[in-house]
Amino acid sequence: MASLRVAMIGHGFMGAAHSQGWRTAPRFFDLPRGVDLALVTGRRADAAAAAAQKWGWAESSDDWRTAIARDDIDVVDIVTPGDSHAEIAIAALEAGKHVLCEKPLANTVEEAEAMAAPAEKAFARGVVAMVGFTYRRVPAVGLARQLVAEGRLGTIQQVRAAYLQDWLADPEAPLTWRMKKESAGSGALGDIGAHAIDLSEYVTGMRLASVSGTVETLVRTRPVLASSSGLGGTAGTERGEVTVDDSAYLIGRYDSGVLGTFEATRFATGRKNALRLEVSGTDGALAFDFEDMNALRFYDATAPEGRQGFTRIQATEAVHPYVAAWWPPGHILGYEHGFTHQVVDLVQAIADGTQPTPSFADGLHVQRALAAVEASAAAGSAWTAV
């Protein structure tokens, strides 16, 4: 089959990660179709051109609509802030282009619904859409899902999930788009809490049905950037209002009746990227921490008394998900590999004509869970249906 020609809308941190994925996937995996990095777009022509030069995109533009209008673009990869996801994704799908969209799917449930509907219609025409919850594609996480599916934990009784970061612990850290509701939708809740929710559901196979939550903004004003290069800037003396949460806490009840606890914060001093999941069942338990991403801890409660304990499994064997294409056992993978695996799964789904996961419908479900947390918090932590 002909190579897929990809246009990436936006750049910056996620642009770098996605570019790495697109460049690397065809070199390590036997993909059913090739991949061409055709176009990258941004709000400023000079920044987009610099991104194209740095990451290997053939062309650049300062207008994302260029990607929609071009007949030679097959895939649109959206890495912009959440406030533009809906407009770009809908236009791409209606133009018959496959779509990969960073999480969370949108800033509101209404926007997510407006994206999920055309995605469903597009799939009937052979066009697919996927949300970028890349932590699903960590080999140790894939192993955790396998253990649950095989019944090694018995009946699941409890779930604990947390995503802990500390990059906003400094009250003088500058105000960026991630701290403004109009561009980000929510703060720690949507930015990293969405990952914790999705990861728990992916591993356990259960879905949140209702939540009781609360959110808090710990630093309410921050220095405004006096100047910006598009990739950063200098904080001035003026301060602006933070309009999203810094921390979110919730109890969730899954459709199975099982309770789960969740925490998402960007104020956990000393924790840089600690996405954690612990699942406890009648026959065993598992624990994962992204700060030790190549390992999964598994407890076999059926082992003889006196020989029970958490076993640290190094998920770097060829039998573990995705690993066979990489290095010999024990040669660890990193953050960027999830984005490569994401490309592998998307390209395979396009070639097979199957719906990749997580789908836009899955992204809509997470969006509804985020909205339910905010509604619960506004109602004094009242239980709220997802």
For every residue of 9-32, DSSP letters joined together read E--SHHHHHHHHHHHHHHHHS--S
Give yes or no: residues 86 and 150 share one domain: no
Which of residues 135, 166, 199 is at a domain's end? 135
The secondary structure of residue 132, as a DSSP letter, is E
SS3 7: strand
Tens digits of residue pLDDT in 301-351? 999 999 999 999 999 999 999 999 999 999 999 999 999 999 999 999 999
* Contact between residue 297 and residue 309 where contact means Cβ atoms under 8 Å apart: no
Residue 5 is predicted with a pLDDT of 98
Which distant-in-sequence residues (6+ apart) come within 8 Å of 331 by Cβ?
A: 316
- Pair 168, 207 in one domain: yes
CB proximity list for 378: less than 8 A, separation 6 or greater: none
Q: How far is CA 117 from CA 19, 114, 123, 322, in A?
A: 28, 6, 10, 31
Shared domain check, 302 and 230: yes
Beta pairing, strands 75-78 & 98-102: parallel
d(CA 290, CA 308): 24
314 with 190, same domain: the answer is yes
Please tell me the total count of domains within the chain.
Answer: 2
Which segments of the chain are extended strands (E)? 4-9, 35-41, 59-61, 75-78, 98-102, 129-132, 156-164, 208-216, 221-228, 233-241, 247-254, 259-265, 274-281, 284-289, 295-300, 310-314, 384-385
Do 97 and 146 lie in one domain? The reply is no
* pLDDT-flagged residues of the chain (< 70): 227-236
- Asked whether residue 150 falls in the same domain as residue 176, the answer is yes
**Residue 342 confidence (pLDDT):** 98
| CA 93, 113, 103, 52 torsion-angle sign | positive
Q: Does residue 81 share a domain with residue 222?
A: no
Between strands 221-228 and 233-241, the pairing is: antiparallel
Boundary-marking domain end, from 113, 135, 157: 135
Contact yes or no for 361/116 (Cβ under 8 A): yes
The confidence score (pLDDT) of residue 284 equals: 98
Task: Dig out the tokens for 326 from the structure.
Answer: 């990489």
Same domain, yes or no, for 130 and 154? no
Label residues 172-185 b or e (16+ Cβ within 10 Å = b): eebbbebbbbebbb
- What would the 3-class secondary structure string for 203-260 be? HHCCCEEEEEEEEECCCCEEEEEEEECCCCEEEEEEEEECCCCCEEEEEEEECCCCEE
What is the domain extent for residue 40?
Answer: 4-135
SS3 157: strand
Domain final position from 111, 135, 159: 135
Q: From CA 134, how far away is CA 57, in angstroms rounded?
A: 22
Domain co-membership, 298 together with 167: yes
Q: Check which CATH number belongs to the domain holding 374 and give it.
A: 3.30.360.10
The CATH number covering residue 73 comes to 3.40.50.720
Residues 180 and 50 reside in one and the same domain? no
- Pair (84, 222) in one structural domain: no
Q: Is the pTM of this model over 0.85?
A: yes
d(CA 219, CA 242): 7
- On whether both 36 and 64 belong to a single domain, the answer is yes
